[in-house]
Amino acid sequence: MNSFIALLRGVNVSGYNRIPMAELRLLCAEIGWSNVLSYIQSGNLVFRADGKRSSLESELKQAIDRRFGLSIEVIVRTGGDWVEYVGSNPFLDASQREPNLVMLTLSKEGPRECAVEEIRGHAQSDERIQQIGDAIWIHYSHGVARSKLSPALLDRLVGSTVTARNWRTVLSIDRLLHDGE
């Protein structure tokens, strides 16, 4: 069995798409995943399983739909991928000062070739965007709420569903990953 991270998009946000994490961990165990850990209520899972990322994404998405009646997008990455993300943050200076303003943005499919340039074209002048591998890092210098880079816009520009986690959450997931090994 290999270590994986599953990121659910848009759960437990302002009362919508409510999924209790204890029930989600139980559901994951029922579909055969082990060592399932969660971090905060926004749908961050670390687990061990056999299979490919795309199969695990589909399996969890279908299980959530059956159990909770919700259509939730799921993005899965390997533990090795996550270690690379942690080591490749291009905005470490900002991450140390304001960890909630630096986001790791991951997409269901790899970003389109022109995605970063198009995102920069919609960003505010002081927002920084950089792609490293399949990750797009965004430093929202004045906060996410003030940005024009909405999830729907990012989905369109990247070419598939995206979800983002701030640097503090990225590090917390990394700790869970290493605790679960």
pLDDT of residue 93: 96
pLDDT tens for each residue of 141-181: 999 988 999 999 999 999 999 999 999 999 999 999 988 66
Q: Identify the CATH assignment for 90-168 out of 3.30.70, 2.30.29, 3.90.320, 2.40.50.
A: 3.30.70
pLDDT tens for each residue of 24-74: 999 999 999 999 999 988 889 999 999 999 999 999 999 999 999 999 999
- Portions of the chain given CATH number 3.30.70.1280: 2-81
Closest-CA residue to 3 (of 170, 166, 174): 174
CATH 3.30.70.1280 fits 2-81, yes or no: yes
The residue type found at 22 is A
Q: Positive or negative, the Cα torsion across 107, 111, 117, 118?
A: negative
Buried b (16+ CB within 10 A) or exposed e, 113-136: eebbebbeebbeeebebebeeebb
pLDDT at 7 over 80: yes
**What totals of helices (H) and strands (E) does the chain contain, helices first?**
7, 8
